[in-house]
């Protein structure tokens, strides 16, 4: 929790959707990917073959088959069948995946950050 508060205070991630606001890819998800994922998945040549900086993340994730699992990276409407959710929760091996839980440096996403990703996917993973 302290990490999330600190991240908000220094501008590492955007403020999450509040109240009845729908989760926004641009406001909520892209900044989260930028701070937690893009440092290791910048060009798409790294492990997982994903570029997760804000300009490339959407097209790298949504509707794209994972190279580690039979799942899509993001299956719009179904967070439980989205490999990115499995990787950040650490349940990827149960879904036929491989490798380590992400982020691999051990600074795992907070439950509220994972919830944002789940809510965005559940809403159809819009590019909003």
Give tens-digit pLDDT for 101-116.
Answer: 999 988 999 999 999 9
Contact criterion met (CB below 8 Å) for 76 and 89:
no
Compute the distance between CA of residue 91 and CA of residue 97 in angstroms, rounded to an integer.
9
Band of residue 21 on the pLDDT scale cut at 50, 70, 90: confident
Whether pTM > 0.85 for this model: the answer is no
Query: How is the chain split into domains, by residue range?
Result: 2-122
pLDDT of residue 20: 58
pLDDT tens, position by position, 35-75: 999 999 999 999 899 999 999 999 999 999 999 999 999 99
For the chain, the average pLDDT equals 88
Beta bridge partners of 82: 72
Residues with Cβ within 8 Å of 78's Cβ and at least 6 positions away in sequence, in order, are: 121, 122
């Amino acid at each position: 929790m302290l990490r999330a508060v600190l991240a908000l205070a220094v501008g590492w991630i955007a403020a999450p959707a509040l109240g009845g606001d729908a989760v926004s890819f641009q406001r909520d998800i892209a900044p989260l990917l930028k701070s937690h994922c893009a440092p290791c998945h910048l060009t798409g040549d790294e492990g997982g073959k994903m570029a997760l900086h804000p300009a490339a993340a959407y097209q790298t994730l949504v509707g794209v088959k994972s190279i580690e699992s039979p799942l899509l990276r993001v299956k719009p409407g179904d967070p439980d069948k989205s490999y990115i959710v499995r990787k950040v929760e650490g349940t990827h091996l149960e879904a036929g995946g491989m490798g380590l839980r992400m982020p691999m440096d051990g600074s795992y996403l907070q439950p509220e950050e994972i919830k944002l990703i789940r809510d965005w996917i559940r809403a159809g993973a819009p590019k909003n």
